[in-house]
């Protein structure tokens, strides 16, 4: 499993801001550094994705685009492990809203990912 790094998350964020608009820039680098430390120590891809979703969406390390960055980063990590999320847009928006409002724990998010994850025949990223 490829290690995640701060630069990669910032690149994902920058691409999202360029495509969809919003205020660019990193607000709290320490949040991303702690996330990287936790994620790279975790072997389970579903827990890794849950940590990413929870940390970025709830703790807002960027000025704007935190939920979008969280979701795309988690999707990338799952894709590299050969999974994709089989969930509709409304369901994803609701999940991300609840995470940002601190209504979901990492465990709840992990369980949601396990329910929605579908295996592919090969990594998709």
Structural domains of the chain, with CATH? 6-119 (1.20.120.1870)
Bridge partners (DSSP) listed for residue 26 = 62
The pLDDT of 29-41, averaged and rounded, is 96
Strands (E), the chain: 83-85, 117-119
| Confidence band for 2, pLDDT divided at 50, 70 and 90 | confident
Contact between residue 53 and residue 74 where contact means Cβ atoms under 8 Å apart? yes
The pLDDT of 74-87, averaged and rounded, is 96
The pLDDT assigned to 124 comes to: 57
The pLDDT assigned to 42 comes to: 96
The pLDDT assigned to 51 comes to: 98
Q: Which two tokens stand for residue 9?
A: 């998350």
pLDDT digits (tens, 9 = 90+) for 81-105: 999 999 999 999 999 999 999 999 9
pLDDT digits (tens, 9 = 90+) for 58-72: 999 999 999 999 999
Q: φ, ψ for residue 117 (rounded to 5)?
A: -75, 135
The pLDDT assigned to 125 comes to: 56
Mean pLDDT of the chain: 95
- For residues 17 and 88, give the distance between their C-alpha atoms in angstroms, rounded to a whole number: 22
The pLDDT assigned to 1 comes to: 63
pTM, full prediction: 0.93
- For residues 103 and 121, give the distance between their C-alpha atoms in angstroms, rounded to a whole number: 34
DSSP, collapsed to helix, strand or coil, labels residue 9 as helix
Distances (CA, A) of 8 to 36, 45, 51, 54, 77: 10, 17, 16, 17, 11
């Amino acid at each position: 499993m490829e290690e995640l790094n701060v630069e990669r998350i910032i690149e994902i964020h920058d691409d999202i801001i360029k495509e969809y608009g919003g205020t660019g820039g990193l607000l709290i680098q320490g949040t991303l550094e702690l996330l990287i430390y936790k994620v790279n120590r975790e072997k389970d891809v579903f827990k890794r994705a849950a940590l990413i979703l929870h940390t970025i969406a709830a703790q807002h390390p960027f000025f704007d685009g935190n939920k979008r960055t969280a979701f795309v980063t988690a999707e990338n990590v799952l894709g590299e492990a050969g999974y994709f999320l089989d969930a509709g847009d409304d369901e994803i928006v609701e999940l991300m809203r609840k995470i940002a409002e601190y209504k979901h724990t990492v465990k709840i998010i992990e369980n949601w990912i396990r329910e929605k994850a579908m295996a592919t025949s090969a990594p998709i990223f």
